[in-house]
Amino acid sequence: MTAPTAPAAPADLLYSEAEEELRAAVRSLLADRCDAKGILARAETGRPHDPALWHTLAVGIGAAGLLVPEKLGGQGAGHREAAVVLEELGRAVAPVPYLTSAVLATEILLACDTAEAAPLLAELASGRTVCAPAVPLTLAPGARLPAPVRDSGGGILTGTVTAVADAAAADVLLVLADTGLYAVRAGEAGVTPLVPLDLTRPLATVTLEAAPGTRLADPATARAAVAGALLSAAGLLASEQVGLAEWCLTETVGHVKGRYQFNRPVGSFQALKHRLARLWLDVASARAAARAAADALATGAPDAPLTVAVAQAYCSGVAVRAAEECVQLHGGIGMTWEHPAHLYLKRAKADSLALGTAGHHRGLVADFAELPAP
């Protein structure tokens, strides 16, 4: 018996020149407008999102519409480019609803492919409207989709969804109900902020009490669209994790070079050098895995679900370890509220639960690679 051993064509794992240009634009925007101090100050006000930053990223750079074809109002790029944006957002733990609005919601609407969904899709692509899918952030590709929301007839929706990411920033919520997919204006829903572990990606409980929704798709289409979008989002989340891990590694290497104890830079001690060298190798490997996932999604490769599961099973752990090493090797300063390390640790840990844990994705690998459980 042969498992899915042969990827159709070798994935392109490098970055194109255009992708590097996009990266440079996003990185320079974030360098100017998204520093750790500002992120933290915002988080403490309870309104972590930065709408002005989002506007420049989404409208100025056009990042919100990368996944959307030009004829539907987008940039007509693809997953490889969106992955580059996410790497940079991960490096900066930027408090913007990219993963939710520009990836997850956008992919759902794209897959609905209905006349009702098209105008909303164009709004998302233009960056003028932010949309949060009302599903728990932990919902994973391959998992059973919940249907806690009931339609009492004519799109009047009732139900509660917990742990919804970026709902507070959303103009529109995408609601999966028993009768299909609905768009609900944020004002029609109750959005109750929760206290999130990750200060930079806020969570809320969304409560619908006879809220009117606009129907975008029938139940079968809706469920397939959500399942497909979860796969894309999980695959692209790996790139966010790579960017985050890379920042942690670079920052830590910089710190141990300059920090002296015992009359030597602490980075000259072999115990630390070996830890950091191993981490470097893990980050380099995570990059290859994340690139493979982005490329498989972009090309619609038949083994994309396996490639995404591999990337998620691997990159989550690397990001968490990079952030944990960052805290540890900074010593006392790494434990403080002022130093940005904690923002990265919180994002990394939350990311490791988002869109399926590594364990869940290993279970998917077992299915796709035909390595069944006992």
Partner 1 sequence: MTADAAPTTPDALRARTRELLAAHPPAGTGRTEFLRARFDAGLAWVHYPEGLGGLGAPRSLQAVVDAELEAAGAPDNDPRRIGIGLGMAAPTILAYGTEEQKRRFLRPLWVGEEVWCQLFSEPGAGSDLAALATRAVLDEAAGEWTVDGQKVWTSSAHNARWGILVARTDPALPKHQGITYFLCDMHDPGVEVRPLRQITGEAEFNEVFLTGVRIPDTHRLGAVGQGWAVARTTLMNERVSIGGMRIPREGGMIAPVAAAWRERPELRTHALHQRLLELWVEAEVARLTGERLRQQLVAGQPGPEGSGMKLAFARLNQEISGLEVELLGEEGLLYEDWTMRRPEIVDFTGRDAGYRYLRAKGNSIEGGTSEILLNIVAERVLGLPPEPRDDKDLAWKDLSR
Q: Site residues (CB under 8 A) for partner 1?
A: 1, 3-7, 10-14, 253, 256-257, 264-265, 267-270, 272-274, 276-278, 280-281, 284-289, 291-292, 310, 313-314, 362-363, 365-366, 369-374
* Residue the block writes with tokens 């768009």: 183
| Closer to partner 1 by Cβ: residue 344 or 368 | 368
Q: Minimal distance in Å, beta carbon 138 to partner 1? A: 20
Nearer to partner 1, 128 or 264 (CB): 264
Residue 356: DSSP 8-state: S
In terms of CB distance, is 291 or 321 closer to partner 1?
Answer: 291
Shortest distance in whole angstroms from residue 286 CB to partner 1: 8
Of 170 and 308, which has the nearer Cβ to partner 1? 308
Output the smallest distance, CB 236 to partner 1, in A: 16
Helices within 56-200 (DSSP H only): 79-91, 106-112, 117-126
Residue 264: enclosing H or E segment and its boundaries? strand 264-265
Residue 350 Cβ vs partner 1, minimum distance, rounded to whole Å: 21
Long-range contacts of 276-279 (CB under 8 A, 24+ apart): 276/249, 276/252, 276/325, 276/329, 279/249, 279/252, 279/321, 279/322, 279/325
Minimum CB distance to partner 1 smaller for 32 or for 370:
370
Show the tokens assigned to 374. 């006992």
Work out how close the CB of 209 gets to partner 1 at its nearest, in angstroms, rounded to a whole number: 43
CB nearer to partner 1: give 125 or 311: 311
Task: Please name the residues in contact with 306: beta carbons below 8 A apart, sequence gap of 6 or more.
Answer: 4, 364, 365, 368, 369
CA atoms within 13 A on the CB side of 135: 31
Residues whose CB falls within 8 Å of the CB of residue 138, separated by 6 or more in sequence, listed in order: 163, 353, 354, 355, 356
CB of 101 vs partner 1, minimal distance in Å: 29
